[in-house]
Amino acid sequence: MKLSIIIPTKNEEALLPRLLKSIQIQTFRDFEIIVADAKSTDKTREVAKSFGAKLVEGGMPGPGRNLGAKVACGEFLLFMDADAVMPNDRFLSDTMQEIETYAIDVGTCRLKPLSEKSVDSFMHGFYNKYITLTAGVRPHAPGSCIFARRSVHEAIGGFDERVVFAEDMEYVQRAYKRGYHFAVLKSQPVLVSVRRLAQDGRLNIAAKYVFGELYMMTKGPFHSTPFDYEFAHFGNKEKQVAKSSEHQTQNSNQDHASKQR
């Protein structure tokens, strides 16, 4: 098998179907889906099974990704968050072709927010420029989209389960320091939810990320965190989030189809 898509979850029954539907329509078909679930109390597990996903016990994002990778059969791994979405039916085809063409060992995608707010477009645009500029010096990758060769994942020991914040950044930076080829993929972005920004506050989240970046640059990975940053702590508005972003996903598919023509 070429690709294993690994998704850590906890109480994601509202948004997980959106991601799984976007995977289901891909023209690239040589993949499996693995959901590493952290004891969800809603219907997350039922949703995963209904889409034919392989279900394993999960935990926090880092350990959950590692547990998913242990049962993976793919030559490549794709780690995604449950609230991300593949933007069109050629996402996997285009990104996998780019990875193999340029012999990329670990990679990520640019982020496109599922939001119509200009502030969200600005914040994600700034982030995209930053990770592109620093890719050859200090790689960054969000948990919503990390590609890795399975051999590389195993060689570096997977995600460091002692890291409690920015474990995704630590993962790609450790791979880069070991000499593996990292890149920000140019072929496709990935669509990402802004629910954390909306719930915790955009300035608050931006400040935490800036602090996290400076802390990691000067002191190293977070083995404890001085602020609240919980996994799956979102409220009861998930269905509204999924519904409001559905038409944006459709628009992205239409835009891509127009460009292909």
Among positive and negative, which fits the CA dihedral 18, 233, 141, 43?
negative
| C-alpha atoms less than 13 angstroms from C-alpha of 175 in its C-beta half-sphere | 32
Residue pLDDT, tens place only, 110-167: 999 999 999 999 999 999 999 999 999 999 999 999 999 999 999 999 999 999 999 9
Task: Give the CATH number, domain containing residue 122.
Answer: 3.90.550.10
Residue pLDDT, tens place only, 56-114: 999 999 999 999 999 999 999 999 999 999 999 999 999 999 999 999 999 999 999 99
Tell me whether residue 260 is in a domain.
no
CB atoms within 10 A of CB 46: 11
| Domain with 170 in it | 3-254
DSSP string, 159-217: S-TT--BSHHHHHHHHHHHTT--EEEEEEEEEEE--HHHHHH-HHHHHHHHHHHHHHHH
What's this model's pTM, rounded to 2 decimal places?
Answer: 0.90
The domain total for the chain is 1
Tell me whether residue 261 is in a domain.
no
Q: Give me the helices (H) in the chain, please.
A: 16-24, 44-50, 61-70, 91-101, 118-133, 150-155, 167-177, 195-200, 202-218, 238-260
Tell me whether residue 109 is in a domain.
yes
* Structural contact between residues 6 and 34, judged by C-beta atoms closer than 8 angstroms: yes
Look at residues 63, 62, 68, 58 and name the one whose alpha carbon lies nearest to residue 11.
Answer: 58
The Cα 52–Cα 89 span in angstroms is 18
Choose between 261 and 99: higher pLDDT: 99
Residue pLDDT, tens place only, 175-219: 999 999 999 999 999 999 999 999 999 999 999 999 999 999 999
Choose between 261 and 229: higher pLDDT: 229
Task: Identify the residue whose tokens are 């965190």.
Answer: 225
Among positive and negative, which fits the CA dihedral 254, 259, 260, 261?
positive
Tell me whether residue 175 is in a domain.
yes
| C-alpha atoms less than 13 angstroms from C-alpha of 111 in its C-beta half-sphere | 29
Tell me whether residue 259 is in a domain.
no
Tell me whether residue 130 is in a domain.
yes
Tell me whether residue 189 is in a domain.
yes
Q: Per-residue pLDDT for 44 more than 80?
A: yes
Tell me whether residue 122 is in a domain.
yes
